[in-house]
Structure 1
Amino acid sequence: MDELPPELLVNILSRLNDSKSLARCRVASKTLNSLSREVRAVNLICTLSLYSKSQSIAGTPFKTIFKSLIEDSSNIRSISVGVDKALNVVSVDDLNDEDSKELYLTDVEFVQEWLPKVRDDLEILSISDFWIHSSWRQSDILALISSNCSKLVKLEVKNAWLSVVGLTQLPNLTHLTLEFIRLDDENLEKLNDCFPFLQVLNLIGVGGLHEPRIHFLQLKSCHWTVSNEPLSLAIVAPNLLELKLKCSKPKSLLLETPKLVKFHLSVEDAKGVSFSEFHDLNTLELISPDTYSLIHNVHFGNKIRKLAVGSVKSKEQSERLKLGLGTLVKAFPGIISLSLGPRTWSKMETHFQSEGLVDMKGTGSLKQITARVQTSDHTDVHQTVSFIRAILDNCRGLTDMRLMIHQDKDPRVRTNLISACMMSNQRIRWKWGIWAEGGEDMWISDGN
């Protein structure tokens, strides 16, 4: 170990996922003890076991451990401190007392104890608070950070109640993530003003907003998950390239994003969705219980090449008789790749059984279909194969079929479906896989 170059050892120590290991290294050798003080990153997560140990008579409080790591280092560029999700299962009764601040990490008094040590060089800061301790205390930590960390490039705050009072400009900040945050402000104007060069914005479960408006001139990527409140949303970002937006039933949705290339839209009620045509959009993913209404109310442009469509459960079943494959082909005549979720595929298969394939003109560009299939018995296999054969007969340019079958289905049904499909058309390249709710897709074989 002592023979390795010091620069390499510092780089290795800086990459440790858990800085508790850094403390162990300090007692392992004089060389590591000396070099550990040159690390550029501190990462410390309070696990359930660590918290339990800290509460013992001989235990060291979590905040004390963290502050000692900061005090013993002189070259820190990145800090990540947080509470493990496993602690969410702990009830208030199991903690010290309701007023405890031991895991209240966005506490301004706590941050003031260590931030001055690193503020001049800090570039990345991530704080994941403990909701039981932070939800009823409003924190002014954003003002504190902005007034001290002029070189900060990336900021992430989770599970906290934040105020923007006193927030000042952070000219170098390009990445901002606020996740499960209570932000009691009329809109996002303060953030818009103070982060003028923001390029990546993630707002996940940020509540307390009214008529929120995102306005960032340099923004390139945005992920926004809105609460269930019926809000009027607006995004003005002339340079935005990628947008992932999930909202329930917005009163209205305004998008001024002329350069958008990739768009993921998940919406339960599409009545309030209406915006101008996108000129450069080529990748689109739609998740809605009423895709039929959505694609008829909104014009997504004529450059869509990659389309994915999924559905969520809804009490309304009117779409079942409306949404056919031809509906998508007609609305997006230039698509090359089409991915269909299990409910969408089921709706289209039902539509085919009653109406056949209609409006299938202009399918020459379609080369690949990926679908998650819910076939459950031999009768379903026959219907599914019939649907697939009709698709192949109508889409002469189609070369790839990728079918995912639910993992809980009878393996014999899966085998029969694979065999029947591969006999349907020899020109198609088949690929087979397994899917499950909430799990990752797993490809099991290539039909060729």
Structure 2
Amino acid sequence: MVICGKFESMPMLTSLTLESVRLDDKRLVRLNKCFPNLKFLNLIGVSGLKAPCIHLLNLKTCHWTVPDSLFSLTLITPNLSTLSLECIKSTRLHVEAPKLFHIHLDIERRNFEIKKFENLKTVWLKSRNIGALFETFELAETVKNLTLDTRDWPRGATGSSNFMVKRVFNVFPNVSSLCIKSNVWLGFEACYRPLYWETWDVRQALKTFSAYLLLVYPSVTISCVSDVLDGCMGVSEVSLLIHGDVDSTVSKSFISRCMTQCRPGLNWRWGIWREGMEDSWITDFGGLSD
């Protein structure tokens, strides 16, 4: 579908979705003027844009899958509370959204300019270089819920990651809930050094911790889990999900060792995960299938 005509002025329209259409920068400027009261905007597979600017004063929620051809993207949305951006290629991003509460970023690399987010509470980051994205946020003291993900690597590969859990708390010092997806966790295991924990400052703010595990080297995984929990003494809830392809004997042994070797007093929750499927939680350890 190609948007080739003029947008009609519809000042009462509050929700708009454009999917698989072609739209140039000039028509996007027209969109800003024709729909001034938009609160919900979804742009999915919209092509033809080069350096678009969304300037909508009443927008609350924006979901945008950014095309590879985009050079830059500007969002000036003073009332935006939820933003989801998927940018496969490097795109220069400029966001002015002082009321932003939740941000979901799926981007290739850091090229992101933001104004200070004083209300940001929930952050979901996905990138091949999570550490570089941290520099975008500088010191994000308001963030309480953080999820870290990365683009797919070959299973078991550690790559050249330099991800450090300690660095999370340098940028997000008050996070109370942390979730680390499987390949980010693998990167952490690849960098694991016991001496690293000698400079670990005990964190009290973190209350809940979850991780998606592949158990490539179960002993290393246990050491990493144990040291994170020792360094975050405020944690009381731990959720660990093991990939469904891991042999049940290995899974059972890992669960037993974690609960025995990690510090006492934790409320454990165990689950199974697979790509493209919903997580499932284990209530009967004897029911782990071979």
Same fold (TM over 0.5): yes
What is the aligned partner in structure 2 of residue 254 from structure 1? Answer: 94
Deviation, 1:166, is 2.8
1:368-421 per-position Cα deviation (integer Å, ceiling 9, x unaligned): 111100114xxx111111111111221111101101111111111111111111
1:109-149 per-position Cα deviation (integer Å, ceiling 9, x unaligned): xxxxxxxxxxxxxxxxxxxxxxxxxxxxxxxxxxxxxxxxx
Alpha-carbon distance in structure 2 between the residues aligned to 1:318 and 1:296: 21
Alpha-carbon distance in structure 1 between the residues aligned to 2:245 and 2:276: 13
What is the aligned partner in structure 2 of residue 387 from structure 1? Answer: 224
Would you say 1:348 and 2:188 are equivalent positions? yes
The equivalent position to 1:298 in structure 2, one of 122, 131, 137, is 137
Alpha-carbon distance in structure 2 between the residues aligned to 1:187 and 1:362: 53
Alpha-carbon distance in structure 2 between the residues aligned to 1:398 and 1:310: 21
1:409-436 per-position Cα deviation (integer Å, ceiling 9, x unaligned): 1111111111111112331111011111
The equivalent position to 1:235 in structure 2, one of 65, 75, 99, is 75
In the alignment, residue 370 of structure 1 is paired with which amino acid? S
The equivalent position to 1:274 in structure 2, one of 97, 110, 113, is 113
Q: Closer, same or farther in 2 for the Cα pair 1:344/1:333, shift >3 Å?
A: same
Deviation, 1:193, is 0.7
CA contact (8 A) 2:6 2:27 kept: no
Would you say 1:201 and 2:36 are equivalent positions? no
1:251-305 per-position Cα deviation (integer Å, ceiling 9, x unaligned): 42110100001001111021x2122221110110110111111112433631010
1:291-328 per-position Cα deviation (integer Å, ceiling 9, x unaligned): 1111124336310100000011479x8751x2111010
Q: Closer, same or farther in 2 for the Cα pair 1:354/1:420, shift >3 Å?
A: closer
Alpha-carbon distance in structure 2 between the residues aligned to 1:244 and 1:300: 21
Judge which range, 418-427 or 352-361, deviates more.
352-361
1:344-367 per-position Cα deviation (integer Å, ceiling 9, x unaligned): 111112212476336632511001
Structure 1, unaligned runs of 5 or more:
1-159
CA contact (8 A) 1:326 1:358 kept: no
What is the aligned partner in structure 2 of residue 161 from structure 1? Answer: 2
SS of residue matched to 1:445: coil
SS of residue matched to 1:274: strand
Tell me how large the CA RMSD over aligned residues is. Answer: 2.1
When normalised by structure 2's length, the TM-score is 0.90
Q: Closer, same or farther in 2 for the Cα pair 1:304/1:362, shift >3 Å?
A: farther
The equivalent position to 1:214 in structure 2, one of 40, 44, 54, is 54
In the alignment, residue 250 of structure 2 is paired with which amino acid? V
CA contact (8 A) 1:196 1:217 kept: yes
Alpha-carbon distance in structure 1 between the residues aligned to 2:185 and 2:223: 13
In the alignment, residue 184 of structure 2 is paired with which amino acid? T
Alpha-carbon distance in structure 2 between the residues aligned to 1:428 and 1:227: 45
Give 1 or 2 for the bigger CA radius of gyration: 1
Q: Closer, same or farther in 2 for the Cα pair 1:337/1:359, shift >3 Å?
A: farther
CA contact (8 A) 2:140 2:173 kept: no
SS of residue matched to 1:208: coil
Deviation, 1:186, is 4.0
Deviation, 1:180, is 2.1
When normalised by structure 1's length, the TM-score is 0.60
What is the aligned partner in structure 1 of residue 288 from structure 2? Answer: none
CA contact (8 A) 2:153 2:183 kept: no
In the alignment, residue 269 of structure 2 is paired with which amino acid? K
Give the number of aligned pairs: 281
1:11-70 per-position Cα deviation (integer Å, ceiling 9, x unaligned): xxxxxxxxxxxxxxxxxxxxxxxxxxxxxxxxxxxxxxxxxxxxxxxxxxxxxxxxxxxx
What is the aligned partner in structure 2 of residue 72 from structure 1? Answer: none
What is the aligned partner in structure 2 of residue 434 from structure 1? Answer: 272
1:206-233 per-position Cα deviation (integer Å, ceiling 9, x unaligned): 1111201111110001111101124210
CA contact (8 A) 2:211 2:240 kept: yes
Question: Which has a greater percent of helix?
Answer: 1
